[in-house]
Amino acid sequence: MGLDERTRQSVLAQLGEFHEQIHGISSAEATGAGLSQSAAQRTFEDLMRMYELVEEVLFPKLWKHQRLWIEEHFAPLRTGSIQLNTRESLVHGDLGCYHILYDESKQRVAGIIDFGTAGIGSQAIDVGVLLDVYGEQLAKLIFSKSAYPTEVIDEARFRAGLGWLEWALYGIENRDDEMLLAHIGQSARDISPVGSGW
């Protein structure tokens, strides 16, 4: 948001084009090229195990409002009101702001790095990361030319809240303070609740 309007529009368009290109590679094409599932892909069972771990490991360290947020965040999964892995293709899997290279002198995206989690997965993984990092206002501009159905957006909203929990679990279980603190100052918070219109 610190960029001037023209530059911001250009950068957002570049990020949108990147997503159109990567999500334009179908799971069949990716499989045919020898790619496997993204390391970021999660099944219902994976996510329920994660919730149980969060209850066991994190809940004793959290305040009441934090536990309530987690319970509410996982409610659509626990009640079956959210679909997972709704639209699969090639995904980056971890498009945090630290993986987007920006060239200040040219005022444009210079590249995308760290494809270590790339592979076949739900497009909601990538959309969710951008929702988390930039919020819905900017994500809508990034994806203005992409027609993501409501179920992908709802899954993305759900996935947007998982990163913090995964990093916190990893940090506590491995006594790694750096991981515990890794996402401070990175996330946007204008994400609508699951079930809201896009």
The per-residue pLDDT for range 163-173, each reduced to its tens digit, is 889 989 999 99
Q: Domain ranges for the chain, please list them.
A: 5-160
Task: Give the SS3 label for residue 108.
Answer: strand
- Per-residue pLDDT band at 37 (split at 50, 70, 90): very high
Domain 5-160 grouped into CATH 2.40.50.100: no
Q: Is 177 exposed, middle or buried (0-12, 13-18, 19+ CB in 10 A)?
A: exposed
Residues 141-155: tens digit of each pLDDT: 898 888 889 899 999
Q: Which residues pair with 91 in a beta bridge?
A: 119
pLDDT of amino acid 1: 72
> Does the structure show a pLDDT above 80 at 162?
yes
> pLDDT tens digits, residue range 83-100?
899 899 999 999 988 899
Does 190 have pLDDT greater than 70?
A: no
The pLDDT assigned to 191 comes to 62
Alpha-carbon distance of 156 to 112, in angstroms, equals 20
pLDDT exceeds cutoff 90 at 189: no
pLDDT of residue 40: 95
d(CA 185, CA 182): 9
Q: How does pLDDT run across 39-55, given as a tens digit for each residue?
A: 999 999 999 999 999 99
Q: 3-class DSSP state for residue 170?
A: helix
- Are residues 148 and 127 in contact, defined by beta-carbon separation less than 8 angstroms? yes
Kindly list the distances between the CA atom of residue 49 and the CA atoms of 42, 103, 116, in Å, as whole numbers in the listed order. 11, 41, 23
Q: Is the pLDDT of residue 187 over 90?
A: no
- pLDDT for residue 13: 94
- What are the residues facing 119 on neighbouring strands? 91
Segment (H or E) for 119: strand 119-122
Cα dihedral sign, 103-106-112-113 = negative
The answer to whether residues 193 and 161 touch, using CB atoms and an 8 Å cutoff, is no
pLDDT, residue 52, reads 97
Helix segments in 34-149, DSSP class H: 44-53, 64-79, 123-142
Asked whether the predicted pLDDT for residue 133 surpasses 80, the reply is yes
Burial class (CB in 10 A: 0-12, 13-18, 19+), 115: middle
Q: Quick one: which of 131, 121, 118 has its CA closest to 159? A: 131
Please tell me the predicted confidence (pLDDT) of residue 185. 57
